[in-house]
Amino acid sequence: MARTHPNRSVIAERLFRFYDRCAASGLPELERQATTIETWWPEILAFLQTGITNAGSEGTNRVIKTVARDACRFRNSANQRLRTRCAAFRKGR
């Protein structure tokens, strides 16, 4: 549905159907999932309407954390920061 400019009534109907099925199932896992969806609904709706995500920044953060974890044995913190910066912002990515 993302990037197709979905109709608000279609989104509302599908969301209601999802919540109804989760409640009718009686499964605690589906009830928790429905609660999570309800909590994150403003962000989910923004994605459905715009098609814009934060996947690029999340990917960069993952690279930074991985490289920083690998570089933690460096004694010089400036070298650790430089290695992280180079890995996160290199042109080949």
Domain definitions of the chain by residue range: 8-50, 55-88
- 91, pLDDT greater than 80: no
Helix extents (H) in 51-76: 55-70
- 84, pLDDT greater than 80: no
Helix extents (H) in the chain: 8-25, 28-50, 55-70, 77-88
pLDDT in tens, 19-73: 999 999 999 999 999 999 999 999 888 888 888 888 888 888 888 888 777 766 7
pLDDT score at 70: 73
